[in-house]
Structure 1
Amino acid sequence: MVEGESQPRKDAQPAAQERSAAGLGGYSARILVAEEEALEAYRSACQGAVFAPPQSPLWARAWLRGQGRNGLIALIQRRGAPALALALEVVAIGPLRIARFAGGRHANGNFPAVNPNAFADGADQAAAVRALIGALQSGRPEIDMLAFERQREAFQQCANPLLAFPHSASPNLSLAVDLSEGFDKLLRDKRRRRRRQLRQMEAAGGYRRLTAASKEEVEEVLELLFAWKSVRLNRMGVHDIFGSDQVRASFRRLFVSALEEPQPSFFLHALEVGGKIRAITCSSRTAESIICEISTFCEDELAYASPGDFLFYENIAEAAAEGLAFYDFGVGDELYKRLWCDVETRHADVFIGLTPLGRAAAQANFAVAGVKRAIKQNPTLAKLARRARQMSAKSQAQEN
């Protein structure tokens, strides 16, 4: 299926700057087009709230800027006080209009902006979600389905209200390194490899780890990342999710804007060897962890020395020195992550149909997610799926 900009259907009502609906249990919801006033309202709602990096005000502004009516801010209150807030984008996939977390497939480890006080007395979390659904059905009837994927069950000791609705385990695991016992314990079986890599880096001209600290440096590092990802994903037979101008512009806005923060919540590291950048990580920060959102490396004459793994070592060492509890490799079960990780987390998916078409699609999405999960948990099936993608990519390349 191909994603595209959502266009109004014939049955859609005219766009409104703001839609609201009253809910049960003292909840009310407003749906705002993600223009400046709405983004400021979202920033205000996030003050004192718990939220994961992909639902932060900085992320919302980076991804929803210029989206027009396809960018939404949902504000749910309980008895007049902020309870829950979400930054959403509306996309068209075939005949469906789907509202999902801003950033789409780039948003991982999701957790909406939740005010813990709003639910401290055991309030009905499902009622908050029903108020959201009611406001969307009233104000944006063209939206068929809500797709809230790759969600954390809890974050900073706060439960996820969206999981009060039926949900299933996401197909992909999330992997992390437990730093609670210090960095030295992690090195017990890695010191020999580290010494070998150091010799290789020195022989290639020496190394240094860089942090992109200016707009120009951010753009330089991201251009390399986009180019390397394009080559690798196309060879694997996987759609290049970094290929669109909108995605690239959003990432540029995100990392450039973060430079203005006293301690950037999103940042770029690069490993330079012999005067050339060889590996890159794009990361976010929480109160207890660093999350590697994206990583890549240059497939050149030094690739044999694993510059990506070398950069992970530097990043993890820094996180441990800061006293953080985890270095999070994010979603995806890969061998290079397994070399470090000892913590597995299974995220959750929620699909809620808002129209007859959307309800059918929600059931289909739950079924497809189950099939993907079964394949990924079976090494033989997973290997066959990867081989099929690679053969398809090779065949397409030959045809072109």
Structure 2
Amino acid sequence: MSVLSRDSLSAYAELARRGVCAPPQSALWIEEWVATTGPDGFLAVLEAEGGPACALALEVIRSGPFRIARFMGGRHANGNFPLLVPDATASIEIEAMLPAIRAARPDIDALVLERLLPDLDGLPNPLLRFPHFPSPNLALAANLEGGFDALLSRVSGKRKRKKHRSQMRKFEAAGGFRLIEASTPEEVSRLLDAFFAMKEFRFRNMGIANVFGDVEVQNFFRSLFLDALRENPPPFVLHALEVGGTLRAVTGSARAGKRIVCEFGAIAKDELAHASPGDFLFFENIGKAGRQGFEIFDFSVGDEPYKRLWCEIETRHFDVAVPLTPKGRILAGALQMKAAAKSYVKNSPAMWRLAKMLRRSAAGNQTAQD
């Protein structure tokens, strides 16, 4: 284990150039999270056959009376997979991390690693050798093997093309439209400003805490997408649909090996919302991903109707909660029960409708008080 320092982060970045990982464990993500949030974090590195084979970048936070180690990025870290050197994966003994973490950080009650991919690019996730349980939410993805036209042939492509042409006509009548891939600092700033405003409006109306509302989180994403511009192609990229000079839909994505992952998206709730600008932008983004040779367009965590229109691949993520202290055993058990309860509600259409109705009602009451 090593504390976060310029040297340790440089060593992590060097390892990342030889390995594979999910975007939230990439060197750029970790560097930006450290720079913008200043976490109490550490790097855990396992060696095999004389060299580094697996690495985890973790932060320590307080959750009620507990202190836990988790992925950097919190709820923004989805589809998680550690940094692995493929040639050394067979000899990894992931369990060896636990005594090392206990010895270096006896204050940590539990290792809590959420939303784990079962595998990545054909490599099994070694973290699933720890006790684990299903995450409450599915992840959905579109299969682009064979290209965009092949995908359309399987997912009502004729109807989608017809709708896309109709949307074009509406957007042209509303002042013309433009598709943007942010390639300058000014475009990154403009697209993120619009996205944060869209999310604030949506979450407030849904009665959900705005996970993008914290200034540190916003600064993190600004730095992440700005500094990604230094690489070719950028590992993190923003796309947007502009109609009549106004941004109507924004997405933020990560390029990760054979897949492109949509990390977030939002639409403006204005006079053109009925024309489904988000659907239009996804049509364009997925088509572009197919032309660029990606095999998977990953919508990430969350089962939503607009994702189901494209997706043939369902992935069940997993959560790990390993107690490191007697107090941590209480937390690990509680997290497993909480995940099971959430899964029950979300897998019951009637219960899920009721939960969303209560949430909207609570949001309305709060707005009235404001």
* Fold shared, TM-score > 0.5 on shorter chain: yes
CA distance in 1, matches of 2:146, 2:232: 29
Paired AA for residue 303 in structure 1: A
Aligned residue in 2 for 1:45: 15
After TM superposition, give the deviation of residue 119 of structure 1 in Å: 2.7
Is the 1:218–1:268 contact (alpha carbons within 8 Å) kept by the matching residues of 2?
yes
The reply to whether residue 293 of structure 1 matches residue 263 of structure 2 is yes
CA distance in 2, matches of 1:180, 1:119: 26
The reply to whether residue 396 of structure 1 matches residue 361 of structure 2 is no
After TM superposition, give the deviation of residue 188 of structure 1 in Å: 2.6
CA distance in 2, matches of 1:183, 1:47: 29
Paired AA for residue 307 in structure 1: P
* 1:139-150 matched pairs, under 5 angstroms: 139-150=104-115
After TM superposition, give the deviation of residue 360 of structure 1 in Å: 1.0
After TM superposition, give the deviation of residue 181 of structure 1 in Å: 3.6
Q: From the superposition, tell whether residues 182 and 69 of structure 1 become closer, same or farther in structure 2 (CA, over 3 Å).
A: closer
CA distance in 2, matches of 1:161, 1:104: 20
Is the 1:35–1:68 contact (alpha carbons within 8 Å) kept by the matching residues of 2?
no
Aligned residue in 1 for 2:247: 277
The reply to whether residue 160 of structure 1 matches residue 125 of structure 2 is yes
After TM superposition, give the deviation of residue 47 of structure 1 in Å: 2.8
The reply to whether residue 171 of structure 1 matches residue 136 of structure 2 is yes
Structure 1 runs, 4 residues or longer, greater than 4 Å off: 66-69
* 1:1-400 matched pairs, under 5 angstroms: 30=1, 32-65=2-35, 67-68=37-38, 70-120=40-90, 123=91, 125=92, 127-128=93-94, 130-185=95-150, 186=152, 187-400=157-370
Q: From the superposition, tell whether residues 184 and 46 of structure 1 become closer, same or farther in structure 2 (CA, over 3 Å).
A: closer
Is the 1:33–1:69 contact (alpha carbons within 8 Å) kept by the matching residues of 2?
no
SS of 2:340's equivalent? helix
CA distance in 1, matches of 2:233, 2:138: 29
After TM superposition, give the deviation of residue 114 of structure 1 in Å: 1.1
Deviations 1:331-372 (A, max 9, x none): 100011111111111111111111111111011101111111
After TM superposition, give the deviation of residue 69 of structure 1 in Å: 5.8
CA distance in 1, matches of 2:203, 2:271: 20
CA distance in 2, matches of 1:80, 1:67: 34
CA distance in 2, matches of 1:188, 1:54: 36
Is the 1:50–1:113 contact (alpha carbons within 8 Å) kept by the matching residues of 2?
yes
CA distance in 2, matches of 1:272, 1:69: 36
CA distance in 2, matches of 1:232, 1:100: 27
Q: From the superposition, tell whether residues 264 and 255 of structure 1 become closer, same or farther in structure 2 (CA, over 3 Å).
A: same
Is the deviation greater in 305-314 or in 72-81?
72-81
Paired AA for residue 160 in structure 1: N
Unaligned runs of 5+ in 1: 1-29
TM-score by length of 1: 0.88
CA distance in 1, matches of 2:245, 2:366: 36
CA distance in 1, matches of 2:291, 2:24: 25
Identity of aligned residues (%): 47
CA distance in 2, matches of 1:387, 1:162: 37
Is the 2:19–2:83 contact (alpha carbons within 8 Å) kept by the matching residues of 1?
yes
Is the deviation greater in 331-340 or in 174-183?
174-183
Q: How many residues align?
A: 365
Deviations 1:78-108 (A, max 9, x none): 2431111011121111111111111110011
CA distance in 2, matches of 1:341, 1:281: 17
SS of 1:240's equivalent? coil
After TM superposition, give the deviation of residue 67 of structure 1 in Å: 4.6
TM-score by length of 2: 0.95
Higher helix share: 2
CA distance in 2, matches of 1:216, 1:360: 48
Is the 1:179–1:325 contact (alpha carbons within 8 Å) kept by the matching residues of 2?
yes
Deviations 1:293-321 (A, max 9, x none): 10001111111101111100110111111
After TM superposition, give the deviation of residue 324 of structure 1 in Å: 1.7
Deviations 1:257-304 (A, max 9, x none): 100001111000111111111100000012212111100011111111
CA distance in 2, matches of 1:156, 1:338: 23
